[in-house]
Structures are given as C-alpha cells and as structure tokens.
Amino acid sequence: MKKTLIFVTVFLLSCKVIASEVYSPRFIASFGACEPYTERTTINSSDGSIPLTKLVQGVVDHRCIYKQIILRPSVRDVTTCSFTKPMLEELTETMNAETGEKYNVNFDTGNQVVRLKGLTKSQILWTQYLNTEEVCKREIIPR
C-alpha cells in the first residue's frame, strides 16, 4: 500500500512537471537527432521549486536513450526511456508543431484514472510514453 501511494504521488508530481514543461529549441534539436545533451531546469509548483534534469544519452541498439530525473526532498524519480526512431520522430514533430493549445485528458495510471488539465499535445504524448513500461522504466529512489 505504501509503495502504491508513493507511486501515485510521484506520478502526479511527474504529470505536474510535464504540464509546466517547456521544451527548448536546443533540447528538441538534440533529442530529434539523438545527440548527447543535458538540460537542467527548475519547475515551480505548489510544492516549491523542483529540479528536473533531462539527458539525451545517444543511440544504443538502434534506440535513442533518454533519462529524466526529478528531485524531490524525499525521493528521486528516475525515468529511463528507449525510443524507437518512429517514436522519436513523432515526439520531435509534435514538439516542433506545438501551438500552445491546452487539453484536459483522463489518464489511467493502472491504479486509478487521473484527470490532467491544461496539457499541450506534446505534453500529452510525453506523458503517454513516460508511463508506458515497454518504452520507459521508472525507478523511485528514497533520499
């Protein structure tokens, strides 16, 4: 039960971080080419400033490896993704074509359905991939 509560809490935090995330042109270009790149940002939320590190690590076995680290006072949320070329192209195209239009969506976490408000198309797509076990693996590390 405690692990489920931590997972749902961190999941909701991850969604809040994604919802407020803006992708820099340099990040989009590096991600699209799968060239090693590190970008550190701070996301302001109701919980305070949350450090976020995005790392494009390069190609391994014909897949682009991406890592996202969200630091909270009590946990480190590390998500490592392995994107195929079509996934990478879809994400890059969606980020480049972003209009800023916002959507509300219901997202099934596997434990419950969460209502996400005010997400752009690229944020919705990122949320889907970051929470698909075949693409991304999440590790919650107590601090």
Alpha carbons 63 and 66: distance in angstroms, whole number = 10
Convert the pLDDT of each residue in 65-82 to its tens digit.
999 999 988 899 999 999
Alpha carbons 30 and 58: distance in angstroms, whole number = 9
Alpha carbons 100 and 44: distance in angstroms, whole number = 19
Model pTM? Answer: 0.80
Whole-number percent of the chain with pLDDT over 90: 55
How many domains is the chain built from?
A: 1
CB-count burial class (<10 Å; 0-12, 13-18, 19+) for 59: middle
Its domain, for residue 63, covers: 2-142
Convert the pLDDT of each residue in 112-135 to its tens digit.
888 888 889 998 999 889 889 999
pLDDT classification of 4: cutoffs 50, 70, 90: very low
